[in-house]
Structure 1
Amino acid sequence: MGGGGGGSISSSDMRTLEDKAKEKLSQAAADTSRHVFISFAYEDVDEVNLLRGQAKNDKTDLQFDDHSVKEAFNSNNADYIKRQIREKIDRCSVTVVYLSGNSSKSDWVNWEIEESFKRGKGVIGVYKGDSPPKSLPSAFSENKCKAVKWSHEELTKAIEAASKKR
């Protein structure tokens, strides 16, 4: 009368299954895009929109989910704006700062960098051209953030590294 033994798995088979499951989960994590907040001076919105578009293009290896501000908040209340930006930063693992002559003068870019660090986020910079602008946002320089050239490969590596470092 008792049942047969068909329901048990040997410990070595169990370990093999666990190893395969861990490997699949690891691959899935590596294949998922990172959640990124892009900090930039509003004067650079056209170039930042180009960066956003490249990240959505299936034909490039640059991939991230952009949770940054797309439309200016219709408010003059700085506390309200900061609260809204904090919520967006909280959804991300990395803040990418678009470095330009405009970003170095922006109080908002400096605040977003400082807030990202306070919230435990990785921060990197990206610039167009052969070298970063001479003048960088003070919070970027003070925190010795890494800046990379706007290239899909370099930016992808930098986002991944900043995500793991935080």
Structure 2
Amino acid sequence: MARRVFLSYQHRDQMKAKGLNLATYNKNVKLDVSMRHLLDPVNSSDPAYITRKIKEQLKGTSATIILIGKDTAKSDWVANEIEWSREKGNALVGIRIEDGAAVPEGLTESGAEILDWAKPSDVQEFAPAIERAIRGTARGANMPTNSIATCRR
């Protein structure tokens, strides 16, 4: 069963976000998730409208993946997406896409697992990390332990 996952990232990392989204269609990658995201910028400068669009994408998701690049920890929008995800009970997983990139405070506070985009062993852990994180939330507390997503698309 594919998990619905929200993808959070800082705008300068848009191409990596698109790459991760494409990986969900790769039969050789064990990442059975359905991504929700705003890969194309919202055509507005109205913060209330942008917030509504982000929250629409968060609906129905059980986890949030945060891509951690050079400027991610400085992004107010990413900080908001982490907070909104936490408020709705989403599991959080960070994926560091640049060496030495600072982890956003909200991820540190929540104890989220942080994986490394450049380590093949970590890439194989993306789906299991999502499942581990979900089991750590209130909604995942009663989930069977054998439900780790290892299906190939």
**Structure 1-normalised TM-score?**
0.74
Root-mean-square deviation over aligned CA pairs = 1.6
Shift of 1:152: 3.3
Maintained 8 Å contact 2:113/2:133:
no
Q: Partner amino acid for 1:80?
A: Y
Unaligned 5+ segments in structure 1 are: 1-31
2:123 corresponds to which of 142, 145, 152: 152
1:143 corresponds to which of 107, 110, 116: 110
Question: If you compute each CA radius of gyration, which structure gives the higher value, 1 or 2?
Answer: 1
Aligned mates of 2:33, 2:16 — CA distance in 1: 16
Q: 1:52 to 1:75 in 2, by over 3 A?
A: same
Q: Which has the higher contact order (CA 8 A, sep 6+)?
A: 2
Aligned mates of 2:96, 2:12 — CA distance in 1: 15
2:71 corresponds to which of 90, 99, 102: 102
Q: Which moved more, 1:70-79 or 1:37-46?
A: 70-79
Shift of 1:147: 0.6
1:1-16 mapped onto 2 (5 Å cutoff): none
Shift of 1:143: 2.2
User: Match of 1:163?
Assistant: 134
Q: 1:76 to 1:134 in 2, by over 3 A?
A: closer
Aligned mates of 1:163, 1:59 — CA distance in 2: 24
1:67-106 mapped onto 2 (5 Å cutoff): 67-106=36-75
Maintained 8 Å contact 1:99/1:133:
no
Maintained 8 Å contact 2:93/2:129:
yes
Shift of 1:134: 4.6
Unaligned 5+ segments in structure 2 are: 138-153
Aligned mates of 2:28, 2:128 — CA distance in 1: 17
**Structure 2-normalised TM-score?**
0.80
Aligned residues: 133
Percent of paired sites with the same residue? 27
> Secondary structure of 1:56's match?
coil
